[in-house]
Amino acid sequence: MSEEFEPRVVAFLCNWCSYAGADLAGTSRIHYLPNVRIIRVMCSGRVNPLFLVNALQQGADGVLISGCHPGDCHYLEGNYYARRRFVLMRKLLEHIGVEPERVNMSWVSASEGAKFAEVVEKTVEGVKAVGPMNQFRRRQINW
Amino acid sequence: MVNQEELRNKAKEVLEREDVRRLIGWKRGTYGFEAAPCVIEKPEEAVNLIFDPTCVQNSASFIVLEEKLPVPRGQEPDTRKIAVMVKGCDSRAIVQHIVEKAYDRDDIVILGIPCTGVLDRRKAEKVFGIIEKPAEASTEGDKVIVKVGNEQKEFERSEILMDKCLRCRHPNPVISDILLGEEVEKWADDDFSDVQEFESKSPKDKWSFWEEQFSKCIRCYACRNVCPMCYCIDCVVTKLRPQWTRRSTDISENTVYHIQRAWHLAGRCIECMECERVCPMNIPIMTLNRKMTLEVKQMFDYEPGLDVEAKPLLASYNPQDPEEYIM
Amino acid sequence: MGEYKFSKENLGKVLEALKDYKVYAPQKKADVVRFQELSDPSEITLEFTNTNVPPKEIMFPQTETLFRFKVGGQDIEPRVPEPTDKMLVFGLRPCDARAYSIVDKLWQWDFIDPYVKNRRESSTIVGFACSEPCANCFCTSLGGGPADEENLDAILFDLGEVFYLKTITEKGDEFVQKCGEALESAGDVERKNAQAQGKEAIEKIRRSIEVEGISEKLPGLFNDAIWKEFSSRCLGCGICTYLCPTCHCFDIQDETEALDGRRARMWDTCMFAEYTLHASGHNPRPTRAERTRNRISHKYSYFPEKFGVVACVGCGRCINFCPVNIDILDILGKVKEA
Amino acid sequence: MDEGNPYLPYTVRIEETRYETPGDRCIKTFIVNFTDEKVWETWEHKPGQCAMVGRLGVGESMFCISSSPTEEGYLRFSVMKMGKVTSALHELDAGDFMTVRGPLGNWFPLDEWEGKNIITIGGGIGQAPLRPVINYIRANRDRYGELTVIYGSRTSKDLCFKDELESFMTEDGLKCHLSVDVEEEGWPHFVGFVPTLLMEVAPSPENAIAVTCGPPIMIKFVIQNLEKLGFAPEQIYTTLENRMKCGIGKCGRCNVGHLYVCKDGPVFSYSTLKDIPEAFA
C-alpha cells in the first residue's frame, strides 16, 4: 500500500446555508478537496444521527454535518436541535472507539464559500491523520 | 423494609377500587434469586405479592409492555387506571414516561416503595450456584441477608447487590400516590469514576473492548424489550422499509444496533440497569448508557426522570449549548 | 466400541493430535461459554454446566449465506458447505446432542436442507457427560440423561484425575485412532466410576415433569387464560428461543453491498411480533399471549404430532436465562392442572 | 428449484405485465417464462400450488401460480402491491427478470372431483388461486359437471381478470355471478357481499364441491352460508396464507396449529380446518 490514503467524507449540508456556501465556493473557483461527497438536506435538524452511523457503516471514513449559524436557521431552531444531537452522538462514537476526528459539524453560511473549503480541508486532514475507518464498517465476511 | 402484610392490604385495597383495572407488582419466583413480576387483576390475588431485595425487575416496563388491540366495534375502551408498585429507579421511569406523554399522570396509581437495594443474580450465583428453590432476602442496616432453603448468609452490600444500587441516588420513589413503608436514607452516590476511567483509554483500546463485547451479541433484543424507555410500537432496528440495521449478526450490524439503542436512550435512561441484567451474553450494556448519562449531565445539566414538568432533552434546546466541537 | 482414558494434562495433546478435523469446542470468551472453532487447544474449557449459546449454532449458524449473486445479474452461486470437511464437535452435552437428532427430523422432512445436512454428515460428535447438572435441568423427563449416548459417536467422562472416553459408533472409533499416543486403554475401574457418576448425576437432577398427556391436552387449551397469565410479564424477547437447542426458525433476507449481494438466513423467533406479521399489517398472532402459546404448543404438541418426538430436551436454558421468570416447567404444570 | 438445494430459485424473464386493478394497492399480473427453457421438462404444477417469487437483492414472497397447467409455455402471477417485496416486484416490467422457486405446497384434488359440480367463491385477490381451477375445468370440460363462478369485490374496478370474466358470462357450461359491495352506476350484476350473493345463487350441495378464497372474514361467512345450504365440511375447500420465508416447511412461521401452510397447505378441506382454531386467526 504505497498509495496515499484518500479518505471519503460524507457531508450533509443544509439547503439554505451550507449547500449554498459550497455552491459559492464552486462558482468563486475556490478549490476544495474532492474527498467530500455532498448530500443535500433541507436542514441540519433533519439529519438523524443514524445517517452518520450508516454512512460510516457503508464506507465513509468521516462524516460532516453543516448548517446555518445559530440564530440563522431557515426553520428558526433546527440547527439548535442538530447541535445537541450531534455532540451526543459524537461522544457516543468516541466512547465506542471511533476517533472523534471522523465526526464533524460546522456552521457555514451561504456567503462563506472560503470557510466551506477550509472546513472540508480540516475534516479531511483530521480523517487522514486517523486513517481508514475500520471499526464497524460493513465487510463481507463469509459471504 | 416495607411490611409484607401492609403491602398486600394496600394492594388489595387499590385493586378493589372501581377505577383500577390491574396492578403490577412482584411475586415469589419459581427458583433462584429473582422474583417474578406479575400483573394481577383480582383483589384476592394480592396475597401473592411480595417486596424484598429479590424484586429486581423494573415494574414500570410492564406499563408500556401492555398490548392494546383495537377495540371491537360497539365496545368502549377500558380507561381504568393501572396501579403499579415502584422502587426508586422504577419511579423515575414513570416520571420520564409522563414527560414523554406515553400516558397521563391520571392513568396510573403509583404505590411507592422505598428500596434498600436489590440482589444481583450473577453475584449470588457465584456464591450459591443456581438454586432450584426461590431465595428470600432482606436488609438490615448495611448488611444483606440471603436465605436459601435453611441456609442463611450475611453479605456486605457490595458483595451481593446490583451495581446500580451501590451508586443509587434515588432509593425513594420520586413520585408516588401511596407510600408503603418508611422513606430510607440515601446511602450511596455516583461519581461515574468507571466511565471516566474507561474514557482515558485510547480509541484503539476502546474499540477492541467493544468489538469483543458486541461480537457476542445474539440480537435477542431483550435489552430493548425490557427497557422501560423503549416503547416505540415500530422500532427502528426491526423496520424493513427503510432498513437501517440488517438482521444478520456480524460486528458491523451488532455495533450499529448497540449505537442505536444507546443513542435513543440518551437523556432518557433512568439507570435501572435492566438491559445489562437481562443480557444472556453478559454484555456490559449499561456502560454505554452511563456514558450518555454523564455527558448529558455535564453538558446540559440534565437528569431525566426526576421532574414531570421537564422537557425531553432532545426535544428542547438552549442557545448557549456547548459548541466546542463545531467548526 | 472401545474404552480409553487419558490424564487431564494430556487434553491439550489429544486435541493437538486432531489436526485432520475442524474442531469445535466450548470456549470461554468475555464471560460467555459457547462452541467455536478451536484454533488453540489451550482455549478449550470444560468447566461449564451448559454453554450459554447452544451448539445448534455449529450446524445452523445464526447468520448463514444461502447463495451469492451480483447486483443486477441473475447468476446464482450457492454457498453450501462441502460435505467432505471433517468436523469434530468436542464436549457436547448429551441433551444438546439429542437436540440435533430431534431437529434433524425437520431438516429432512421432505425437502432436505443441504446446509445442515452436509454439516451433520461430516461431523463426529464427542459428548461430555454431565456430573453436576444445574438446578433447572430436566433432561431425564424428556427421555435423555446426563450420560445419555443417543446421537453421540463417543462420550467423555470427567473422572477427576483422568478423562474416560468411550466410543459408541464407527465414527467414534475413527476419531480415537486420530487421538494420538496420549490415549491409554481404560479398565474396569474407570468404567465403574463413569457408570457410578452417571447414576449419581441422574439423582442430582431436581426438576421434572411428566410429559405424558401434555401433547393431547394443549390443543384444548387454545383459548385458555393461562397464556395471558404467563405472557402478561413476557418481554417478547428472543432469549428463550435463540438459546433453545431445538428451536430452528429462521428468517431469510437479501443483503447487498456495492455490487455484491447475498441471500442469507438468520435465526428468527416466534416471540417477535414481526415473525408472523403480514405485509397488510394483519397479524395472526397479535399479542404475546398467542406467541407464548405457539412456543409451548409447538414444542409439546405440534412437533410431536408431526415428527413423533417432543421438541424439548430439558437443558434448562430458557428457564435460566428468562429475565422475568417465565418457567417452562411452571407453564407445563399449569397445563396439566387445567 | 435446484434438485439438491430447495433454496435456489430459477430465473424467469417477464414476457408481459398488466394491471388488474388501480390504486395504491394495485394488482399487477406477470406472465413469465424460464430463461432456461429446459426447466419446463421437469416443471410440473397443479392448480392451487404456489411458488416463491422474488427479486434478487430484495427478497421473495409466496404467491399462488394463477395459471392453470393447461395453459402451456408460461406462468402467471398476480401480485398486490403491499410490502417490501411486492413493491419491488411492481417496479418490474416486460424484459426484466424475477426469480421463481417452486412449485410448492399441495393442490386442489381435481382428480378426485371428477364428475362433480364445482362452485368457486372468490373475493378480491382471492380469485387468483381459483383461476387455475376454473381454467383447468374449462380445458377438461367433459370430466366435470356444472361450473359455477361466484366472484365479488369492493367495486367493479377491483375485480381481477376482467377480460376473462366477460367471456365467462356467455360461455356454455359455466355460470358466472358477479357482485360489488356498494351500488355503482351501470353495474348490471348483484350488489352486496359475496356471502349474500352465495345465498342468492344457492347452489345445490348434491354431488358438489365448493372452493372459496378471499379475505379471512369473507371465508368465514362463506363457510357458514355453505353449511346452511347443506354442504358438508368435506365438500368445502379453501386456501390459507400466512407470512412465509422458506416455503418448504423449515422456517416455522406459517403454521396454523400443527399444519404448515406452505407444505401441508395452502389448500385445506374445511373438515381439516374446523378443528384448528388458529386457522382463521
Q: In order of start, what are the domains of chain A with their CATH numbers?
A: 9-130 (3.40.50)
Q: Does B326 touch chain D (CB under 8 A)?
A: no
Q: At a CB cut-off of 8 Å and minimum separation 6, what does D186 contact?
A: none
Domain count, chain C: 2
C257:A142 CB<8 A:
no
Does the residue C162 lie in any domain? yes
D106 with D266: CB under 8 angstroms?
A: yes
Of D35, D83, D246, Cβ closest to residue C252: D246
**Which member of D83, D245, D275 has the closest CB to residue C252?**
D245
Q: Are residues C135 and C267 in the same domain?
A: no
- The topology under which CATH files domain D10-104 is Elongation Factor Tu (Ef-tu); domain 3 (2.40.30)
Q: C141-171 pLDDT, tens per residue?
A: 999 999 999 999 999 999 988 999 999 999 9
pLDDT of residue D3: 64
Percent of chain C at pLDDT exceeding 70: 100
Crossing angle of helices A78-96 and B251-264, in 10° steps, is: 130
Architecture (CATH level 2) of domain D117-238: 3-Layer(aba) Sandwich (3.40)
> Nearest chain C Cα to B128, which residue?
C135
Please tell me if residue A137 touches chain C, with a CB cutoff of 8 Å. no
Q: Is it the case that residue C1 has pLDDT exceeding 80?
A: no
- Which of B 38-77 lie inside 8 A of D, CB atoms? none
Same domain, C161 and C308: no
Q: Which of D253, B276, D121, D24 is nearest to C250 (CA)?
A: D253
Q: Do C27 and C159 reside in the same domain of the chain?
A: yes
C228 and C266 part of one domain: yes
Q: Which of A58, A107, A120, A136 to mutate to test binding with chain B, by most B CBs within 10 Å of its CB?
A: A136
Taking CB atoms within 8 Å and a gap of at least 24, the contacts of D33-39 are D33/D73, D33/D74, D33/D75, D34/D10, D34/D100, D35/C74, D35/D10, D35/D11, D35/D97, D36/D10, D36/D11, D39/D10
For chain B, percent of residues with pLDDT exceeding 70 = 100
Cβ neighbours of residue B42 closer than 8 Å, sequence gap 6 or more: B15
Q: Are residues C155 and C262 in the same domain?
A: no
Q: A50, B323: Cβ pair inside 8 Å?
A: no
- Nearest partner of A62 among A71, A53, A70, judged by Cα: A53
- CA-CA-CA-CA torsion sign (B162, B166, B170, B172): positive
The residue in chain D having the minimum alpha-carbon distance to the alpha carbon of residue B243 is D84
C209 inside domain: no
Chains that touch A (3 or more CB pairs under 8 A): B, C
CA distance to C84, C117, C227, per residue, from C123 (Å): 9, 10, 40
| pTM, to two decimals | 0.94
A:21-60 residues touching chain B, CB 8 A cutoff: 49-50, 53-54, 57
Q: Give the per-residue pLDDT at D81.
A: 93
Last-in-domain residue among C161, C179, C204: C204
- Residues C227, C152 within the same domain: no
Q: Which residues of D have a CB under 8 Å from any CB of B?
A: 83-84
Shared-domain flag, residues C266 and C329:
yes
Q: B-contacting residues of C 245-304, CB under 8 Å?
A: 251, 253, 255, 264, 266-267, 269, 272, 274, 286-288
Question: What is the Cα–Cα distance from D253 to B208, expressed in whole angstroms?
Answer: 38
Indicate if C228 and C126 belong to the same structural domain: no
Q: Which of D54, D83, D258 sits opposite C305 (nearest CB)?
A: D258
Q: Is the pLDDT of residue D1 over 80?
A: no
In a domain, C317, yes or no: yes
Distance in Å, alpha carbon of C13 to nearest chain B alpha carbon: 28
CA distance B207 to chain A (A): 4
Residue A37 near chain C (CB below 8 Å): no
For residue A127, name the pLDDT band (cuts at 50, 70, 90): very high
A138–C257 CB contact, under 8 Å: yes
Chain A contact for B325 (CB, 8 A cutoff): yes
Sequence-distant (6+) residues with CB within 8 A of C196 are none
User: In sequence order, what are the beta bridge partners of C69?
Assistant: C76, C261
Q: Are residues C170 and C297 in the same domain?
A: no
DSSP collapsed to 3 states, D85-121: HHHHHHCCCCCCEEEEEEEECCCCCCCCCCCCEEEEE
ipTM value of the model?
Answer: 0.93
Q: Round the average pLDDT of chain A to a whole number and report it.
A: 93
C273 in a domain, yes or no? yes
Confidence tier at B325 by pLDDT (50, 70, 90): confident
- pLDDT recorded at residue C244: 95
Higher pLDDT, B205 or C258: B205
Query: How far apart are alpha carbons D5 and C336 in whole angstroms?
Result: 42
Q: Angle B203-216/A78-96 helices, nearest 10 degrees? A: 80
Q: What amino acid is encoded at C69 in this protein?
A: F
Same domain, C39 and C148: yes
Tell me which of B301 and D168 has the higher pLDDT.
B301
Give tens-digit pLDDT for B178-196: 999 899 999 889 999 999 9
Lowest mean pLDDT among A136-140, B234-238, C312-316, D129-133: A136-140
pLDDT at C183 over 90: no
Q: In sequence order, what are the residues at sequence separation of 6 or more whose Cβ sits closer than 8 angstroms to the Cβ of residue D148?
A: D117, D118, D119, D120, D174, D175, D176, D177, D201, D203
Which residue range forms the structural domain that includes residue C13?
3-204
By the CB < 8 Å criterion, does A1 face chain C?
A: no
B192 touching A (Cβ < 8 Å): no
Statement to judge: residues C112 and C172 lie in one domain: yes
Question: Are both C168 and C56 inside the same structural domain?
Answer: yes
